[in-house]
Amino acid sequence: MGAGMSKRLYITVCGNIGVGKTSLVNLLCQEFGWQHYYEEVRDHPYLDDYYKDMPRWGFHTQIFFLTQRLKQQQEIARIPTSVCQDRSIYEDHEIFAKSLLHLGIMGQRDYLSYRQLFEAIAPYVTKPDLLIYMKASVDTLVERIRLRSRDCETGIAPDYLAHLNDRYADWMDHFDLCPVLILDADRLDFVQRDRDLRFVYDQVSGFLAGELTAKTYQPVLI
């Protein structure tokens, strides 16, 4: 682990709405001394409107997220310390923009404009050293969304979460930019159970020690 810690690392945590990404980023940064980068949600100017009228505000919402993510990526590329990020820039296109298109929430014209912008940005984005994918069932997501009680999320339908889960599964089948650590968020409660938190730390430490190789998937389902 010592050799891994001497290198500047860029870790990104991904997963569906409510899965616990922010909590995991916070805990990992405390344990390993990394700089955290959180998703901009509370100050999002379109999010409340989006959940009330997705077709009207879907394009605006995704453009704001992409802009904020690009600003984060520019900062991450400049700072010398290791970084752990809540949600990757790739999810903006692969999960959410594609979902809006497939669900008929975003029109083809808006999606093509969004995709052109994303494809122009993607080559200049620093690739992560490790992507941690938190996988959870819809029941788990619904319960965690209920517990955190964000007003803007009260109208999220289980069917929408299920659709996002399908998109994540498809994305993971094709993702090969960096190693992937898959955590079963249905079984792991690292906020409430110390043994689960230690398990997660051990898995990440395994990557830092060089036990995961590039383009290798490491599913951890306990």
Burial class (CB in 10 A: 0-12, 13-18, 19+), 194: exposed
Contact partners, residue 214, CB within 8 Å, separation at least 6: 178, 179
Of 86, 92, 110, 129, the active-site residue reads: 86
Q: Which long-range contacts (CB under 8 A, 24 or more apart) does 43-51 make?
A: 47/152, 48/151, 48/152, 50/152, 51/152, 51/153, 51/154, 51/155, 51/156
Report the C-alpha gap between 184 and 188 in whole angstroms: 6
- Could you confirm whether 170 is annotated as catalytic? no
The residues carrying an active-site annotation are 86
